[in-house]
Amino acid sequence: MLEGHEPDEDTQYRIGSLTKTFIAVQVMRLRDEGRLDLADPLGKHLDAGQVASVTIAQLLSHTAGLASETPGPWWERSPGDLRPALADILGPARHPAGRLFHYSNPGYGLLGALVGQLRGHGWEHALRQEILDPLGMARTTVSPEPPYARGFAVHPWADVMQLEPAEGTGLMAPAGELWSTAADLCRFAAFLLDGDDRILPAKTLAEMRTPAAPPGDDAWASGYGLGFQLFRHDGRVLYGHSGSMPGFLATLCVSPADAIGGIALANATSGPDIAAIAVDLVTIVADNEPRIPARWKPLPDVEAALLVLTGLWYWGPRPYLLRLLADRGLELSPTAGSGRASRFRAEPDGTWTGLDGYYTGETLRLIRGADGLVDHLDLGSFVFTREPYELDAPLAARPDPEGWRGF
């Protein structure tokens, strides 16, 4: 429906709530810079009135208990100047903070204001400077720039249409204002898959993908992290966000396990399940073109002192295998069956921090004996020894005084 221009990868569409993932990336940048803590109450950084006590993490994960929409006319179809102050986008709380997932558009309006407050200029300027320009997303904007699609409503019982309004939403813009193109969203999807140290490292994106609240359904078909929707389909978990505004539907989702992203955009108020289309795109490609395993290559260097630590260790009588990874990383996993397996990142102080599984965030230490050699591993008070229940082991792994014997 663009005169003289067929829709292509450079055509702008309004992406609705996909905007929220961009806002969440900005907030996590501030966290990584030490400008805020996710546990901070919003009132520590912003004059937030009645919602000063909700935390930044609760706002990111939609667990702050706020209303889904603003008071007054529906914000998506009314001018933003009807809500000139933060208090104007907030109605009464709907649930106790921190108890359950309840999607809140005003919550992201607050997060956009938070970004502006801490950056000293609007979230839009920060977005351009910190994310869009580094990723080469020149066609992602707050207001539409030609060529762009117009938003339509299609009559449910006849093949006729009418234009939908495209109001500037003011303080609610962080919840759904952005316009983007398929090409730009491909660049953003690549960033969400691999990370970019100029913006956010992969480990922070992995943190954002972790479910932050119970999913609300037994099937676990969907969930929410920190600015990420989680989609589960045929055993595959995908991450991203859907979006809608009057006249537009959008979804971007990525599968890190497959290194594939799916994007679907439409200029219609309602119609197909746009999220299902994006998920199907990923599934079809992943099922028919499985990811080629990375080529094996040796470590570029190795510390002899770490190499001698590899091999079997025992947690009580259970054998575990310790492997050496790149950048002095370690991996500890049971030799057979399911169990507490984790990878660990080396820290400057000579310890390691758990990256996944049961030991996420826990500290692994090498405990040395009087001879200076490593005697055992201490992992959050769990003791791993070279032999099951070694003689002279610490209390947590101390053998029976009579040792191993027949009964």
- Determine the pLDDT at residue 39: 96
Burial of 186 (0-12, 13-18, 19+ CB in 10 A): middle
**Residue pLDDT, tens place only, 21-44:** 999 999 999 999 999 999 999 999
Domains in the chain: boundaries: 13-288, 304-397
**Residue pLDDT, tens place only, 309-351:** 999 999 989 999 999 999 999 999 999 877 889 999 999 999 9
Rounded CA separation 356/210 (Å): 10
For 13-288, CATH gives: 3.40.710.10
- Determine the pLDDT at residue 216: 54
Q: What is the mean pLDDT of each run of 10 residues along the chain (407 residues)?
A: 80 97 98 97 93 96 94 91 91 89 95 96 96 98 94 93 92 96 98 96 93 66 89 90 96 95 95 92 94 88 93 94 95 89 95 91 94 93 91 81 85
- Determine the pLDDT at residue 232: 87
Amino acid in the structure at residue 143:
S
Rounded CA separation 283/287 (Å): 6
Structure tokens at 5: 């221009």
- Determine the pLDDT at residue 214: 66
Rounded CA separation 397/394 (Å): 6
Contact 178, 141 (CB under 8 A): yes
At the topology level, CATH places domain 304-397 in Lipocalin (2.40.128)
